[in-house]
Structure 1
Amino acid sequence: MLQQPTARLVRGAALAGGLAVLSLTSACSGAEGGTGADRGGSSVPPVTAAPAAGVVAPAKVEVIAGLTGCTAKIRIDAEELRQGVCHTEEADYLITTFPEERYKETWLEAASIYGGQYLVGARWVVSAQPKLLTGFRPKLGGTIRQLGATGPSAAPSAP
Protein backbone atom coordinates (compact mmCIF):
# COMPACT_ATOMS: atom_id res chain seq x y z
CA MET A 1 0.00 0.00 0.00
CA LEU A 2 1.34 3.45 -0.89
CA GLN A 3 -1.02 5.35 1.39
CA GLN A 4 1.32 5.75 4.41
CA PRO A 5 4.37 7.03 2.45
CA THR A 6 2.12 9.35 0.45
CA ALA A 7 0.62 10.75 3.65
CA ARG A 8 4.11 11.26 5.03
CA LEU A 9 5.14 13.12 1.85
CA VAL A 10 2.09 15.37 2.12
CA ARG A 11 2.87 16.09 5.78
CA GLY A 12 6.50 16.77 4.84
CA ALA A 13 5.48 19.23 2.15
CA ALA A 14 3.12 20.99 4.55
CA LEU A 15 5.86 21.09 7.16
CA ALA A 16 8.39 22.50 4.69
CA GLY A 17 5.96 25.16 3.52
CA GLY A 18 5.14 26.09 7.10
CA LEU A 19 8.82 26.27 7.93
CA ALA A 20 9.44 28.62 5.01
CA VAL A 21 6.68 30.94 6.26
CA LEU A 22 7.89 30.59 9.85
CA SER A 23 11.41 31.61 8.98
CA LEU A 24 10.17 34.65 7.06
CA THR A 25 7.92 35.85 9.87
CA SER A 26 10.02 34.84 12.85
CA ALA A 27 13.09 36.53 14.23
CA CYS A 28 14.25 33.58 16.31
CA SER A 29 17.66 32.15 15.56
CA GLY A 30 17.02 28.52 16.47
CA ALA A 31 18.77 26.47 19.12
CA GLU A 32 22.43 25.76 18.51
CA GLY A 33 22.41 22.60 20.56
CA GLY A 34 19.03 21.30 19.47
CA THR A 35 16.22 20.22 21.72
CA GLY A 36 15.61 17.14 23.75
CA ALA A 37 13.04 15.93 21.20
CA ASP A 38 15.49 15.96 18.31
CA ARG A 39 18.48 14.50 20.15
CA GLY A 40 17.12 11.83 22.40
CA GLY A 41 16.08 8.30 21.85
CA SER A 42 18.60 7.20 19.26
CA SER A 43 20.84 4.31 20.18
CA VAL A 44 22.72 4.51 16.88
CA PRO A 45 26.16 6.12 17.27
CA PRO A 46 26.82 9.21 15.13
CA VAL A 47 28.74 9.03 11.88
CA THR A 48 30.02 12.27 10.40
CA ALA A 49 31.29 11.18 6.99
CA ALA A 50 29.93 8.72 4.48
CA PRO A 51 32.41 5.84 4.69
CA ALA A 52 31.30 4.06 1.52
CA ALA A 53 31.24 7.15 -0.67
CA GLY A 54 33.99 9.16 1.00
CA VAL A 55 31.71 12.22 0.92
CA VAL A 56 31.55 14.71 3.74
CA ALA A 57 28.32 16.66 4.00
CA PRO A 58 26.87 19.23 3.55
CA ALA A 59 25.84 18.11 0.12
CA LYS A 60 23.23 19.03 -2.46
CA VAL A 61 19.92 17.21 -2.77
CA GLU A 62 21.09 15.83 -6.12
CA VAL A 63 24.33 14.44 -4.65
CA ILE A 64 22.57 12.72 -1.76
CA ALA A 65 19.93 11.35 -4.14
CA GLY A 66 22.63 9.95 -6.42
CA LEU A 67 24.30 8.21 -3.47
CA THR A 68 20.97 6.59 -2.57
CA GLY A 69 20.37 5.44 -6.14
CA CYS A 70 17.74 7.84 -7.40
CA THR A 71 17.29 11.08 -9.29
CA ALA A 72 15.42 13.51 -7.06
CA LYS A 73 12.61 15.70 -8.31
CA ILE A 74 13.01 19.09 -6.62
CA ARG A 75 9.77 20.08 -4.88
CA ILE A 76 10.92 23.08 -2.87
CA ASP A 77 13.72 25.46 -3.78
CA ALA A 78 13.61 28.21 -1.17
CA GLU A 79 16.13 30.33 0.65
CA GLU A 80 15.73 28.29 3.85
CA LEU A 81 15.76 24.80 2.34
CA ARG A 82 15.77 22.66 -0.80
CA GLN A 83 13.74 19.48 -0.87
CA GLY A 84 13.62 16.69 -3.39
CA VAL A 85 11.50 13.58 -3.56
CA CYS A 86 12.79 10.22 -4.71
CA HIS A 87 10.42 7.60 -6.12
CA THR A 88 11.86 4.08 -6.15
CA GLU A 89 10.37 0.61 -6.38
CA GLU A 90 11.19 0.11 -2.71
CA ALA A 91 9.68 3.35 -1.35
CA ASP A 92 9.32 7.10 -1.71
CA TYR A 93 11.49 9.35 0.43
CA LEU A 94 12.43 12.99 0.92
CA ILE A 95 15.86 14.63 0.94
CA THR A 96 16.05 18.10 2.46
CA THR A 97 19.11 20.34 2.58
CA PHE A 98 19.62 23.62 4.43
CA PRO A 99 21.98 26.58 3.90
CA GLU A 100 22.61 26.84 7.66
CA GLU A 101 22.52 24.38 10.54
CA ARG A 102 19.98 26.49 12.43
CA TYR A 103 17.40 25.97 9.66
CA LYS A 104 17.88 22.21 9.92
CA GLU A 105 17.38 22.30 13.69
CA THR A 106 14.21 24.39 13.31
CA TRP A 107 12.91 21.95 10.70
CA LEU A 108 13.64 18.98 12.98
CA GLU A 109 11.92 20.68 15.89
CA ALA A 110 8.82 21.24 13.74
CA ALA A 111 8.98 17.66 12.40
CA SER A 112 9.02 16.25 15.93
CA ILE A 113 5.22 16.61 16.10
CA TYR A 114 5.03 13.84 13.47
CA GLY A 115 7.51 11.56 15.22
CA GLY A 116 9.46 8.93 13.34
CA GLN A 117 13.05 8.34 12.41
CA TYR A 118 15.18 10.60 10.23
CA LEU A 119 18.73 10.33 8.92
CA VAL A 120 20.38 13.61 9.86
CA GLY A 121 23.71 14.97 8.65
CA ALA A 122 25.47 18.30 8.38
CA ARG A 123 22.75 20.58 6.96
CA TRP A 124 20.67 17.74 5.48
CA VAL A 125 17.87 15.33 6.48
CA VAL A 126 16.54 12.21 4.78
CA SER A 127 12.94 11.23 5.61
CA ALA A 128 12.27 7.58 4.81
CA GLN A 129 11.14 4.29 6.25
CA PRO A 130 13.48 3.09 9.04
CA LYS A 131 14.82 0.14 7.01
CA LEU A 132 15.86 2.53 4.21
CA LEU A 133 17.54 4.89 6.66
CA THR A 134 19.62 2.03 8.02
CA GLY A 135 20.70 1.16 4.48
CA PHE A 136 21.46 4.78 3.57
CA ARG A 137 23.57 5.47 6.66
CA PRO A 138 26.76 3.68 5.46
CA LYS A 139 26.48 5.55 2.14
CA LEU A 140 25.64 8.99 3.51
CA GLY A 141 26.90 9.08 7.08
CA GLY A 142 24.87 11.04 9.57
CA THR A 143 22.89 9.97 12.60
CA ILE A 144 19.52 8.26 12.78
CA ARG A 145 17.35 10.39 15.07
CA GLN A 146 14.11 9.29 16.65
CA LEU A 147 11.80 12.28 16.94
CA GLY A 148 8.98 12.15 19.46
CA ALA A 149 5.41 12.61 18.34
CA THR A 150 3.30 15.02 20.33
CA GLY A 151 -0.38 15.41 20.07
CA PRO A 152 -3.63 15.35 21.93
CA SER A 153 -3.61 13.21 25.01
CA ALA A 154 -6.50 11.23 26.38
CA ALA A 155 -9.05 13.26 28.30
CA PRO A 156 -8.73 12.95 32.07
CA SER A 157 -11.10 10.43 33.57
CA ALA A 158 -13.92 11.60 35.80
CA PRO A 159 -13.44 10.93 39.52
Structure 2
Amino acid sequence: MRVTRAVLCAAAVLALAGCGSGGDTKAVPPTATGSLESLAAEVKCKPNMQTDADTIRQAICTNTDGKFILATFSTDRGQREWINDAKDYGGYYLVGRKWVAVGDDGVVKALRGTLGGDVEIGTNHAGHASHSGHGG
Protein backbone atom coordinates (compact mmCIF):
# COMPACT_ATOMS: atom_id res chain seq x y z
CA MET A 1 0.00 0.00 0.00
CA ARG A 2 2.85 2.40 0.85
CA VAL A 3 4.57 1.75 -2.46
CA THR A 4 1.36 2.45 -4.39
CA ARG A 5 0.76 5.66 -2.44
CA ALA A 6 4.36 6.78 -3.02
CA VAL A 7 4.09 6.08 -6.74
CA LEU A 8 0.82 8.03 -6.94
CA CYS A 9 2.35 10.97 -5.04
CA ALA A 10 5.42 10.97 -7.28
CA ALA A 11 3.23 10.89 -10.39
CA ALA A 12 1.15 13.79 -9.06
CA VAL A 13 4.25 15.87 -8.37
CA LEU A 14 5.63 15.18 -11.84
CA ALA A 15 2.29 16.02 -13.44
CA LEU A 16 2.05 19.29 -11.54
CA ALA A 17 5.63 20.20 -12.39
CA GLY A 18 4.94 19.50 -16.06
CA CYS A 19 1.85 21.73 -16.03
CA GLY A 20 3.63 24.64 -14.37
CA SER A 21 3.54 28.17 -15.63
CA GLY A 22 6.96 28.06 -17.25
CA GLY A 23 8.84 29.43 -14.27
CA ASP A 24 6.40 32.20 -13.41
CA THR A 25 6.66 32.90 -9.71
CA LYS A 26 3.71 35.30 -9.52
CA ALA A 27 1.13 34.34 -6.94
CA VAL A 28 -2.24 33.41 -8.37
CA PRO A 29 -5.09 35.29 -6.67
CA PRO A 30 -8.06 33.47 -5.19
CA THR A 31 -10.48 32.35 -7.88
CA ALA A 32 -13.05 35.03 -8.67
CA THR A 33 -16.76 34.38 -8.47
CA GLY A 34 -19.81 36.22 -9.70
CA SER A 35 -21.93 37.01 -12.70
CA LEU A 36 -20.61 37.32 -16.23
CA GLU A 37 -20.84 41.10 -15.90
CA SER A 38 -18.92 41.22 -12.62
CA LEU A 39 -16.16 38.95 -13.98
CA ALA A 40 -15.95 41.08 -17.13
CA ALA A 41 -15.70 44.24 -15.01
CA GLU A 42 -12.79 42.73 -13.05
CA VAL A 43 -10.80 42.26 -16.26
CA LYS A 44 -11.94 45.58 -17.71
CA CYS A 45 -13.98 44.42 -20.69
CA LYS A 46 -17.47 45.23 -21.87
CA PRO A 47 -19.05 41.87 -22.74
CA ASN A 48 -20.63 41.47 -26.18
CA MET A 49 -23.33 38.92 -25.29
CA GLN A 50 -23.63 35.96 -27.67
CA THR A 51 -25.76 33.59 -25.58
CA ASP A 52 -28.03 34.56 -22.72
CA ALA A 53 -29.87 31.44 -21.58
CA ASP A 54 -30.81 29.90 -18.23
CA THR A 55 -27.98 27.35 -18.36
CA ILE A 56 -25.18 29.37 -20.02
CA ARG A 57 -24.34 33.01 -20.62
CA GLN A 58 -21.53 33.60 -23.11
CA ALA A 59 -19.91 36.79 -24.37
CA ILE A 60 -16.99 37.94 -26.47
CA CYS A 61 -14.68 40.24 -24.53
CA THR A 62 -11.74 42.38 -25.52
CA ASN A 63 -9.38 44.18 -23.16
CA THR A 64 -5.75 45.32 -23.25
CA ASP A 65 -4.63 41.66 -23.02
CA GLY A 66 -6.58 40.61 -26.12
CA LYS A 67 -9.83 38.97 -27.22
CA PHE A 68 -11.43 36.06 -25.36
CA ILE A 69 -14.71 34.27 -24.69
CA LEU A 70 -16.19 34.54 -21.20
CA ALA A 71 -18.94 32.13 -20.19
CA THR A 72 -20.84 31.47 -16.98
CA PHE A 73 -22.89 28.38 -16.18
CA SER A 74 -25.84 27.59 -13.91
CA THR A 75 -24.38 24.21 -12.87
CA ASP A 76 -20.94 22.67 -12.36
CA ARG A 77 -21.97 19.72 -14.53
CA GLY A 78 -23.03 21.99 -17.40
CA GLN A 79 -19.71 23.79 -17.18
CA ARG A 80 -17.68 20.56 -17.26
CA GLU A 81 -19.65 19.18 -20.21
CA TRP A 82 -19.14 22.46 -22.13
CA ILE A 83 -15.40 22.47 -21.41
CA ASN A 84 -14.97 18.81 -22.36
CA ASP A 85 -16.72 19.40 -25.69
CA ALA A 86 -14.90 22.68 -26.38
CA LYS A 87 -11.43 21.29 -25.61
CA ASP A 88 -11.67 19.13 -28.75
CA TYR A 89 -11.16 22.39 -30.68
CA GLY A 90 -7.91 23.30 -28.91
CA GLY A 91 -7.26 26.56 -27.11
CA TYR A 92 -6.55 27.62 -23.58
CA TYR A 93 -9.19 27.60 -20.85
CA LEU A 94 -9.13 29.49 -17.58
CA VAL A 95 -11.56 27.68 -15.32
CA GLY A 96 -13.24 28.99 -12.19
CA ARG A 97 -16.34 27.95 -10.27
CA LYS A 98 -19.16 28.03 -12.85
CA TRP A 99 -17.19 30.22 -15.30
CA VAL A 100 -14.59 29.83 -18.01
CA ALA A 101 -12.51 32.22 -20.11
CA VAL A 102 -11.17 30.96 -23.45
CA GLY A 103 -8.40 32.59 -25.43
CA ASP A 104 -4.83 32.22 -26.55
CA ASP A 105 -2.10 31.31 -24.09
CA GLY A 106 -1.00 34.89 -23.36
CA VAL A 107 -4.53 36.18 -22.79
CA VAL A 108 -5.41 33.30 -20.47
CA LYS A 109 -2.22 33.81 -18.43
CA ALA A 110 -2.97 37.53 -18.11
CA LEU A 111 -6.58 36.86 -17.07
CA ARG A 112 -5.40 34.35 -14.48
CA GLY A 113 -3.41 37.13 -12.81
CA THR A 114 -6.71 38.89 -12.08
CA LEU A 115 -9.34 36.14 -11.91
CA GLY A 116 -7.31 33.24 -10.49
CA GLY A 117 -8.59 29.85 -11.59
CA ASP A 118 -6.97 26.84 -13.21
CA VAL A 119 -5.61 26.62 -16.74
CA GLU A 120 -6.65 23.72 -18.96
CA ILE A 121 -5.36 23.17 -22.49
CA GLY A 122 -7.42 21.81 -25.36
CA THR A 123 -6.36 19.21 -27.88
CA ASN A 124 -4.13 20.57 -30.63
CA HIS A 125 -5.03 18.54 -33.71
CA ALA A 126 -2.94 20.73 -36.03
CA GLY A 127 0.34 20.31 -34.14
CA HIS A 128 1.70 17.41 -36.16
CA ALA A 129 0.64 18.72 -39.56
CA SER A 130 2.20 22.15 -39.02
CA HIS A 131 5.60 20.67 -38.21
CA SER A 132 5.65 18.39 -41.23
CA GLY A 133 4.56 21.16 -43.57
CA HIS A 134 7.61 23.34 -42.93
CA GLY A 135 10.84 22.30 -44.56
CA GLY A 136 13.78 22.37 -42.14
- Decide: shared fold, TM above 0.5: yes
The one-letter code of the counterpart of 2:120 is R
Matches within 5 A, 1:47-126: 51=29, 56-57=32-33, 59-88=34-63, 90-126=65-101
The answer to which structure has the higher helix fraction is: 2
Name the structure 2 match of 1:12: none
Larger radius of gyration: 2
CA contact (8 A) 1:112 1:150 kept: no
Taking the aligned partners of 1:56 and 1:70, their CA distance within structure 2 comes to 15
Q: Which amino acid aligns with 1:71?
A: K
TM-score w.r.t. structure 1 length?
0.58
For 1:137 and 1:68, the matched residues in 2 are separated by: 10
Compute the RMSD of aligned alpha carbons. 2.8
Deviation of 1:117 after TM superposition, in Å, equals: 1.1
TM-score between both structures, scaled by the size of structure 2: 0.67
Q: Which runs of 4+ in 1 moved over 4 A?
A: none
Q: Percent of pairs identical after alignment? A: 26
Deviation at residue 55 of structure 1 after TM alignment: 6.4
Number of paired residues?
107
Structure 1 stretches of 5 or more lacking a match? Answer: 1-39, 155-159
Higher relative contact order (CA 8 A, sep 6+): 1
